[in-house]
Chains A and B, each alone.
Chain A
Amino acid sequence: MNPVKKTETLLTGKKAHDKVKRGAQLLNSFSNLLPLLFLIVVFMPLMVLILDLGIQATGGLVNWQSWLESFYRRWVLLRNSINLAAGTAAAAMFIGLLAALRLWPINRKPWLYLRWLVLMFAVISPYMHALAWNTLFLMFRAILLPLGVELTPLGGWSGSWLVQTMAFLPLAVGLALLGLETVDPLLIEAGRMQHPDGKVTLKIALPLAAPAILAGFGFIFIFSLLDYSIPSLFGKNIYALEIFAEHSASGRAASAFLVALPLLLLSIVMVYFSQAPLREALVRPPFKVRPWNISPQWPVYLSILQKVALIILALHILVPLVGLSAATGSLSALGESVKLGRREIIFSLNVAVSTAIVAVPLAYPVASVLLNTKMRKGYWWILTALPLAVPAPLIGIGLILAWNRPLFGAIYGSAVMPILAALARFTPFAVIILLAQLKRIDPLLIEAAKILKRSKLSMLFKIHLPMLAPGMIAAFFFTFALTLGELGATLIVAPPGKATLTMRLYNLLHYGSTDLVAGLCLIIVFITALSASFVFVFLIIRESSRNQNNVRKF
């Protein structure tokens, strides 16, 4: 080749190379910015509220005296809320742990995977449980009344405690099971050589799983503390509702934020102490061998307790189905519910699907940071878990404060608001699910692709995403289902003339007909169950095919 031509060709090649390099650099800097986008979406409502309070305080517009006086009045409410949350978390974790102990030794496929199906029921909103339990209770009351037995109506603190415990039971089972799964099977086997299974469980398994189990208690405490739907339906006021009430009464975000502060601080403290043990349990890759290769022989008392716990868990699943079906009455009534709630169903599905679509890519960069960052990983973890401590109404109020401006009129009055609210609340769940999946990927496979020097984009589409697919699908489903049941923030930010299914339900629960409410609840349960089933079937098929040749060898 002519030397001039050769040099030109080389230069052209170099230019092309530089172009690609610049593109890669651009992509790099863009991907570095993506975790910040997560922080903006998730923390913006809280930041705006803090800023607003600062402005109001420096302008002398905050009446601290009145706040202090009202705090003394609200102290009783806070104490009641803490008692209810602690009682709920303790009962749910106790029953959950017993049920989890029964599910833990299951090693046979597909039951090994199907155990986790219990988590699907965690996304059924607490107020649906309230309705179902109430319906069943009234039915029993009607049956027993002719026999001279008069049951007191389900309500008050005891009713709230019972229904909240049942509502959070699947989560408790899931978290306890997660904790038990963190125990190295070899440590169990070493114990089994010397002592009976009951003692091994009490002396080895439970102490080792304790941090994760206590963290589970912490999170159920927070969720119970922040949920006002059940107590309010049972005629009891709790602190979380005060935020909503204060905002409705005064119309001032700063006042509502001040009211929320004690609850927020308490939740933040709980999140801080609970997130560390749980994060280890959540992201730990599974052990190559399963514990309890030979089925455990539990002591009689433990075996009976476990069976009782499983019966309670079965009740948790059956009561909403039976209670809601009974309250709906007939198929035609269900059809009527669908017809009447058609607009709300479509709106809810739009919001839930849009949220899930946005949440997964928003969560992925943060999950990558948590996987790869050595420095400041703890801070990122706290930033990821912190949104779980923010009361839902506060997110709604913060969003209104941020977007209720002439410039953002198009956004403020649109369906984007409930989507932003759901993103702020549920994207952390998507992060955790994606991170758990990322941890399962063998780093060697990524190294191998890097050695082949594929471009970052090609790596993403050909290597990362296919391996991440189960986690992405699970994250999508969880965000979708949680958004479908979201109420606390949506109630505040829903655009005028639009309502989600949960909003319609909440209003009807207070004022409307029970059969219509139950029918709408059944629709949500049906949509959730259907989408969860697809996800589980997909995950099981994928996992089974992957493990076909992965035989346990010593």
Chain B
Amino acid sequence: MDEYILDVREVKKNYGNIEAVKQASFALRANSRLIIKGPSGGGKTTLLRLLAGLEVPDEGQIYINGCLASSNDFTLAPNLRKMGFVFQSPALWPHLTVRSNILFGLGGLPKEKRQARLDELLEAIELPDYKDRYPDQLSGGEARRVALARSLAPEPPCMLMDEPLTSLDDSLKEKMLVLIGNEATRTGSALVYVTHDRQEASALGGAILNMKDGHLEQ
């Protein structure tokens, strides 16, 4: 059990009468990838939010690195789970510059290392001169790339991505997929990636699960 970074056991989540997630179970080791596909309203985002600790499951448990992180009466705070999360919308903090947004999660590192990581990521997302811009000075696609860099910056052991590349053009999408893949490989992170796009799913590789009406199936 301990070798799994993420272990999801029969997790269930209801909103009123609607069963958003029904008995979801899977486990992920370090350096592995899981792609979750499926129609809108199928429960994919809810599942990611449960993994991130932003929702409490009604039933089942979630273990992170072998320790209980979520059950119906216990939730480990999201920041203690050490996960990266790219939301469906960029959710950049409007009062912070691109630099501050990306560095927000790098509090513990020395200044030089933080600066180096910032430069490296800005280079990778092809926005090297955007450090001092505010989110309202970015286009939709640029904001998405900054959001991606923000979640990659702390090199989390597990990354959750909820349709992170929607609205990017094909060439940029391809480059960002390479970046995500490389970062996951380099840091040994487990990756849970939600998408509608077959191309993205096949480019990333890894196991593919389908989620429909709250059911997670092969």
Contacts and interface: CB of A to CB of B under 8 A. Distances in A.
B189 interface: no
B46 interface: yes
Question: In this complex, which of A187, A192, A193, A551 has the most chain B Cβ atoms within 10 angstroms of its Cβ?
Answer: A193
A189 B95 contact: no
Nearest to A294: B75
Given A193-B85, A195-B105, A196-B77, A187 B93 contact: yes
Nearest to B46: A554
A144 interface: no
A544 to B, nearest CB: 13
Contacts of B78: 189, 192-193, 294
A2 interface: no
B84 A193 contact: yes
Contacts of B18: 551, 553
Contact of B154 (A194, A207, A208, A293): A194
B41 interface: yes
A204 B150 CA distance: 15
B100 to A, nearest CB: 9
Nearest to A186: B91
Interface string A263-283: 000000000000000000000
Contacts of A208: 93-95
A552 interface: yes
A207 B85 CA distance: 22
Nearest to A549: B16
A189 B87 contact: yes
A258 B29 CA distance: 78
B79 A196 contact: yes
Interface in B101-116: 104-105, 107
A551 B44 CA distance: 16
Contacts of B54: 189, 192, 293-294
A166 to B, nearest CB: 32
B79 A190 contact: no
Interface string A170-211: 000000000000001011011111111100000110011000
B79 A192 contact: yes
B34 interface: no
B134 to A, nearest CB: 13
Given A190-B85, A293-B55, A554 B45 contact: yes
A507 interface: no
B143 interface: no
A297 interface: yes
Contacts of A184: 91
A194 B107 CA distance: 10
B191 interface: no
B79 A195 contact: yes
A210 B77 CA distance: 26
Contacts of A551: 15-18
A197 B87 CA distance: 19
A168 B154 CA distance: 44
A192 B77 contact: yes
A204 B79 contact: no
A552 B15 contact: yes
A554 to B, nearest CB: 3
Interface string B18-49: 10100000000000000000000101111001
Given A554-B20, A554-B46, A187 B91 contact: yes
Question: In this complex, which of A196, A207, A208, A553 has the most chain B Cβ atoms within 10 angstroms of its Cβ?
Answer: A553
Nearest to B83: A193
B64 interface: no
Interface in B96-130: 104-105, 107
Contact of B93 (A191, A193, A549): A191
Contacts of B16: 549, 551
Contacts of B11: none
Contacts of B52: 189, 193
A110 B20 CA distance: 24
Nearest to A548: B16
Interface in A279-302: 293-294, 297
A529 B86 CA distance: 47
Question: In this complex, which of A190, A207, A297 has the most chain B Cβ atoms within 10 angstroms of its Cβ?
Answer: A190
A549 to B, nearest CB: 8
Nearest to B160: A193
B107 A195 contact: yes
B53 interface: yes
Contacts of A197: 77
CB-CB nearest 5 A-B residue pairs: A554-B45, A194-B105, A190-B91, A551-B16, A186-B91
Interface of B: 15-18, 20, 41, 43-46, 49, 52-56, 75, 77-79, 83-85, 87, 89, 91, 93-95, 104-105, 107, 150-151, 154
Interface of A: 184, 186-187, 189-197, 203-204, 207-208, 293-294, 297, 549, 551-554
14 contacts: A189-B52, A189-B85, A190-B91, A190-B93, A191-B93, A193-B52, A193-B78, A194-B79, A195-B104, A294-B53, A294-B56, A294-B77, A549-B16, A551-B15
